Chains A and B, each alone.
Chain A
Amino acid sequence: MIPELGQFALILALGLALIQASVPLIGATIGRSDWTAFARPMAAGQFVFVAAAFVILAQSFLSDDFSVRYVAMHSNSALPAAYKLAAVWGGHEGSLLLWLMILATWTLAVAFASRSLPDLYAARVIGVLGIVSVGMLSFTLLTSNPFDRLLPAALDGNDLNPLLQDPGLVMHPPILYSGYVGLAVPFAFAVAALLSGSLDKNWARWTRPWTITAWMFLTVGIALGSWWAYYELGWGGWWFWDPVENASFMPWLAATALIHSLAVTERRGIFKSWTVLLAIAAFSLSLLGTFLVRSGVLISVHAFASDPSRGIFILLLLSVISGGALLLYAARARRMESEGGFRLVSRESFLLLNNILLLVATAAVLFGTLYPLFLDALGLGKISVGPPYFKTVFLIPMLPLLLLLGVGMHATWLSTNSQRLAQKLSAAAVIAMLAGILLPLIVYRSASVMTILGVALGAWVIVSALWDPVSRIVRRDAPGVPLTRAQWGMSTAHAGVGLFVLGVTVTSSFGIESDQSMREGDTLEMAGYEFQFRGTRNVDGVNYEAVEGEVEVRRDGRLLTILSPQKRVYRVQRNPMTEAAIDPQLRRDLFVALGEPLGAGAWSVRIQYKPFIRFIWLGALVMAFGGILAATDRRYRAAKDVRTMARTARQATESA
């Protein structure tokens, strides 16, 4: 009875979404404020019903209702309760419900926070979000209903994929989807602007905090996925350029470009059509990711059970939403262009170059990911495009970008004095080059060109990013205008980029990996550490059985830690799973994984030394934190009165 209520709730939500998607938009065009007034209530109603459906599905999982097909496929009575909850988004249908839940939440947030927006505008934004909701709700109800019954009910469920039974992977989809789906908000703002025929600096000011927030979720979500792959899969890698990984990275790149383009539009009122196009592109790339994961068009480790009929529906959705927006862009964007000059050396110029390079990177990744499909569709054979291609190709726009990043942060609007800029940055440049040469040579005693370049660029970005904040703190005698939160956010986020680059460079250059056959008592020397294998024992988990190995780690004879890698077999699905044991430190990770028993008490053991690998995810977290700082800058928070608004606007133009 209750699962049917869940389905009914979704149908009601669809009904409200249909109204939300049509009435306010028509009302805004014909100028009827009683029609535009439908926007917020419909958004609230849709949220209520989608939330109800979500809660009902969660309840089905928690109460072990195996008469619901989706629950039977992804849960089990022995599954720990927390994972039963996470299993809601463990499969295709439930993850769509999560998508809908998050979209409804974002829409509600926009509805509430948009009271300072002109009603006409807010109605259009909420209306466009309604169109997206209608599309996804229809898709769910027509092809992917999570409430389908399984009759007769299963005695017990199929269990959640053991790979997903992990806290990291529990958080990864909700946070990642918050990012993906959140990009619908700037998309809606952009389409609303196109519909209204104009946009100005205010539009950029409204759109930017939403974009940064969505971007922030996406950053954390991608970082979580990478970190999870590293510690859970027993392989030691953190990025594979898998088509679906790329599909999450491309919206991130586009969103990064969007944030920077918004900066120019907010400040100077130019680059409007760029910004609108980027907003459309970022969300379209999100939808593309949804298509790639669920259609079976590309081979991916992330693919849900692929079904071409679902693929057709999503493609239709993508065509209507993105295609529609792009048609609108073709028709209306030209009118939006405005005058505003700047010199070759200026902040605008650097931001333009930044966006071009980010778009080149996005396009290159997109092209590489889709190329096998292109060739196959044209009958030109089958190829694979993997990490060797992407690693090379991605660096081509990225290396100049990192170099320019350090400079661009200090450029001034309209025109910059190149000499003064060079003087300001010369110290930072020297520090960076020294770091690039010394760190590899002194700490690791070897250096290649790429290593030096990577460390130098990472150091360059960090020093340049922190230059202004640190000199403000140090030179208390010259106060000037205090740094705004947005400026702190910018410095922090860029410093995060530098940390990331450092992490990637050092771990790629100096990481050591070794697969060994070890018997009890055998030792392995690696990077100054001694790993001694102390044999294995059997362990029983809640819903799995495991063989646990014991490895003692010593340095200079002193026992540092004991690592316990496991080889688990989950009782229901019976696939062997490797649980690596990691000794995590900022400076380095020590990584041990158990392979196969080789007979006579010997096991194959993988031992890895991963220097600076935590910097990769730390860098991402610092980037995200910078985003939070920037998004909560005073000029975005609701102003209480006109005078405050005027004051904050003045401060914004002085410091942005």
Chain B
Amino acid sequence: MWRYLLPIALFAILAGFFARGLNLNPGYVPSPLIGKPAPRFELPALKDPAESIGSDVLGKETALFNVWATWCVGCRQEHAFLNEIAKSSGVPIYGLNWKDNRASALSWLATLGDPYVASAFDEIGEVAIDWGVYGAPETFLVGRNGTVLFKHIAPLTPEVWQREFIPRIQADCGAYPCP
């Protein structure tokens, strides 16, 4: 008897998975860095090639690490919001300028505002790979002890900030805005 029920039972299980799958995003790649120390790097600064920025700037306080480029449409969309939180959140934003043209990047910041404490210039994309970057803009939340707490892919919006970042920032530095 049971062997005639097996097909419908299997079908029901499959249908359940499909229903669940309709709410998932199959192309979204979660970061394996969450909960691990921020990848180490040393790059020339965007503004002054003679200066260098390294991962030691992270790991002092709760900070954001934002991957951006002038060729990235979404980066432009989130830029105004980045300017806002740079002023109001108490969380410093460090930038990774990914495979960009230095001159364009600098003029972009000059025109649209510079929310970054400093931007590192990753010309060949090696550091971006170390951070598991695959689609700009990407924003990492790095904790006071240098652990990667969260990664958001796609433009940063007030809703995402509210829902995902603020609770984690509060947990890390005690309050929002960070003292």
Contact = CB atoms under 8 A, between A and B. Distances in A.
Contacts of A323: 8, 11-12, 15
Interface in A141-163: none
A280 B10 CA distance: 14
Nearest to A314: B18
Contacts of B7: 277, 280-281, 326, 329-330
A296 B26 contact: yes
B20 to A, nearest CB: 4
A276 to B, nearest CB: 10
Contacts of B29: 382
Interface stretch (A343-351, A371-379, A429-437, A503-511): A371-379
Interface of B: 1, 4-5, 7-8, 11-12, 14-15, 17-24, 26-30
B15 A334 contact: no
Interface string A369-392: 010111011000110000000000
Interface in A259-280: 273, 277, 280
Nearest to B15: A319
A551 B116 CA distance: 53
Given A281-B7, A322-B11, A376-B24, 11 more contacts: A284-B11, A295-B21, A296-B22, A297-B18, A297-B24, A308-B23, A315-B15, A315-B18, A326-B8, A330-B7, A373-B18
Size class of the A contact interface (CB-based, 8 Å) = 20 to 34
Contacts of B23: 308
A312 B22 contact: yes
A315 B11 contact: no
A308 B25 CA distance: 10
Contacts of A318: 15, 18
A312 to B, nearest CB: 6
Given A330-B5, A334-B1, A377 B11 contact: no
A311 interface: yes
A315 B22 contact: yes
A291 B27 CA distance: 17
Contact of B26 (A281, A327, A373): A373
Interface string A356-375: 00000000000000101110
Contacts, number: 72
Contacts of B19: 312, 315
Among B8, B17, B22, B30, the one with the most A-chain Cβ atoms within 10 Å of its Cβ is B22
Given A323-B15, A330-B5, A330-B7, A311 B26 contact: no
30 contacts: A273-B4, A277-B7, A281-B7, A296-B26, A297-B18, A297-B22, A297-B24, A298-B26, A308-B23, A312-B19, A315-B15, A315-B19, A318-B18, A322-B11, A323-B8, A327-B8, A329-B4, A329-B8, A330-B7, A333-B4, A334-B1, A334-B4, A370-B14, A370-B17, A373-B21, A373-B26, A376-B21, A376-B26, A377-B17, A377-B20
B4 A299 contact: no
B15 A382 contact: no
A273 B6 CA distance: 13
A280 B17 CA distance: 20
Nearest to B27: A299
B31 to A, nearest CB: 11
Task: State the majority secondary structure of interface residues on B.
Answer: helix
A297 B11 contact: no
A269 B11 CA distance: 27
B6 to A, nearest CB: 9
A71 to B, nearest CB: 28
Interface in A295-344: 295-299, 308, 311-312, 315, 318-319, 322-323, 326-327, 329-330, 333-334
A217 to B, nearest CB: 26
Contacts of B12: 323
A297 B21 CA distance: 6
Contacts of A322: 11
A377 B14 CA distance: 11
Among A295, A370, A381, A382, the one with the most B-chain Cβ atoms within 10 Å of its Cβ is A382
Nearest to A312: B22
A311 B22 contact: yes
A277 B11 CA distance: 13
A295 B8 CA distance: 22
Given A315-B15, A323-B15, A382 B30 contact: yes
Contacts of A382: 28-30
A312 B27 CA distance: 19
Contacts of A308: 22-23
Contact of B22 (A280, A295, A299, A334): A295
Among A327, A334, A377, the one with the most B-chain Cβ atoms within 10 Å of its Cβ is A377
Contacts of A299: 26-27
Contacts of B18: 291, 295, 297, 311, 315, 318, 373
Nearest to B19: A315
Contacts of B28: 382
Contacts of A329: 4, 7-8
Contacts of B27: 299
